[in-house]
Structure 1
Amino acid sequence: MRREYKISPSVFAADLGSLKIQLAELENSHIELLHVDVMDGHFVERIAFGADHIRALKKMTKLPLDVHLMVQNPEVHLDAIIAAGADIITFHQEATTRHLSCLQKIRKAGIKAGIVLNPGTCEDSIKYLLDDIDMILLMTVNPGEGGQHFLTSVLEKIKRVHNLIGNRAIDLEVDGSIDNKTIKLCHEAGANVYVSGGYLFNGNISENIASLRQALAK
């Protein structure tokens, strides 16, 4: 089952000094989602964003907020993230043993819920959750580290997860070094949601979005 594609710019790569202008440009370009990375300095080395930032973003844009929790023990943070206004919440399989209870809590709040897999984590580990999720996010780099290259080895994993999803209404998202070349590879492998940060926000945002869409159209 091929679902409608969506581009999800990573606000972590935006120019915070010009954030309102850049958000308006994303809206004018009819972007589907806004990706928000929450990092705790434990699960990943970096620290970025939190519930207060999500709440502020919610006031600044009408774009649905695609919140990616790169935090240890996400169950501790869920109440605050839900209250802040997230529209989608994904958390890492590797960060907790309470997968099902986290997913159920998110969905009970009327929010879409998903699981994230690091490049080295086997997709078999989430087979039992497939009927309780709205999104699977596959990292195409190691999370929380800058300046990495796209891991082409993940392409086969995207294909396997796409087949695993079957006819379920689950979005398959990819995150890490997504540009106008790698987005096409991910699309062909079966992904339909694409997180782009450095590529999209470097230079002319509208032109970069058009370049991504053109790559998908081909």
Structure 2
Amino acid sequence: MSEPIKERGMTVKDMKLSPSIFAADLGELKKQIKELEDSNIDFIHVDVMDGHFVERMAFGADHIKALKSMTHIPLDVHLMIEHPELHIESIADAGADIITIHQESTARVLSCLHKIRNRGIKAGIVLSPGTPEETIKYLLDDLDMILLMSVNPGEGGQHFLGSVVDKIKNVKAMVGDRDIDIEVDGSIDNKTIKPCYEAGANVFVSGGYLFQGIKEHTETLRKAVKE
């Protein structure tokens, strides 16, 4: 496969999967978490939605705490909420291993990142499709992860936005040799994962596609980036 990132002297980090628990069958949650563990999943992606920053509402500190008691898989918590600075402590106390906040959600972005890192938790920034990547230029040394949305956050029934591929390339160039994961979230399947990986992303959030058949589709996604 073509690897434009390597041509610029950079390498893509090891691929990681972060299935979105929002797409799980809550009636079969323990069984599906066991399947994720058996498939050696890297993270579980947990969307926290407040009904204000995005239209939907989902999960909170109590749900994160319950998930933490059920699995050893690190929890990748994505805060789609207004004023995340008010909730970082409760999310951290609940057991989050990574907390990402939206660039658009607060005027206190850097303060939030410091608060997260001071708890010994990895901190990340999220960019919605319409938010330019240049807005994180001065945050790079305070980041462990950059999450790029390939759909509008918190809305269902969307298609993958191909423009995110160029955005990934630009972010990868900005990151340089820093130890920062580049994550992509939104309509990731066996067709969309490969161009994102080649562009420089290494962590992939998959919801509906992966939970249609955890073992089979986990293998398919991993195979897709290697072929």
Please tell me the TM-score bracket, short chain as reference.
over 0.9
Render the CA deviation track for 1:69-116: whole Å, top value 9, x for unaligned.
000110011111010000000000000010111000100100000000
Q: d(CA) in 2 for partners of 1:211 and 1:56?
A: 29
Q: d(CA) in 2 for partners of 1:128 and 1:164?
A: 10
Does residue 1:210 correspond to 2:219, yes or no? yes
Render the CA deviation track for 1:117-173: whole Å, top value 9, x for unaligned.
000101111110000010000000000000100000111001000100000000000
Report 1:168-179 matches (<5 A). 168-179=178-189
Amino acid corresponding to residue 226 of structure 2 in structure 1: A
Report what 2:91 is aligned to.
81
Report 1:184-203 matches (<5 A). 184-202=194-212
Report what 2:22 is aligned to.
12
Amino acid corresponding to residue 157 of structure 1 in structure 2: K
Percent identical = 69
Amino acid corresponding to residue 219 of structure 2 in structure 1: A
Amino acid corresponding to residue 85 of structure 1 in structure 2: G
Q: d(CA) in 1 for partners of 2:14 and 2:97?
A: 18
Question: What is the CA RMSD across the aligned residues, in angstroms?
Answer: 0.6
Report 1:59-98 matches (<5 A). 59-98=69-108
Amino acid corresponding to residue 179 of structure 2 in structure 1: A
Does residue 1:104 correspond to 2:114, yes or no? yes
Q: d(CA) in 2 for partners of 1:169 and 1:3?
A: 9
1:53 to 39, 48, 63: 63
Q: d(CA) in 2 for partners of 1:175 and 1:213?
A: 16
Q: d(CA) in 2 for partners of 1:146 and 1:102?
A: 28
Amino acid corresponding to residue 139 of structure 1 in structure 2: M
Q: d(CA) in 2 for partners of 1:2 and 1:184?
A: 12
- Using the TM superposition, give the Cα deviation of residue 2 of structure 1 relative to its aligned residue in structure 2, in angstroms: 2.0
Q: How many pairs are equivalent?
A: 217
Q: d(CA) in 2 for partners of 1:57 and 1:114?
A: 21
TM-score (norm 2): 0.95
Q: d(CA) in 2 for partners of 1:52 and 1:127?
A: 34
Render the CA deviation track for 1:7-48: whole Å, top value 9, x for unaligned.
000000000000000000000000000000000000000000
Report what 1:28 is aligned to.
38
- Using the TM superposition, give the Cα deviation of residue 5 of structure 1 relative to its aligned residue in structure 2, in angstroms: 1.2
Q: d(CA) in 2 for partners of 1:99 and 1:195?
A: 23
TM-score (norm 1): 0.99
Q: Which moved more, 1:84-93 or 1:1-10?
A: 1-10
Show structure 2 runs of 5+ residues with no match. 1-10
Report what 2:149 is aligned to.
139
Amino acid corresponding to residue 147 of structure 1 in structure 2: G
Amino acid corresponding to residue 71 of structure 1 in structure 2: I
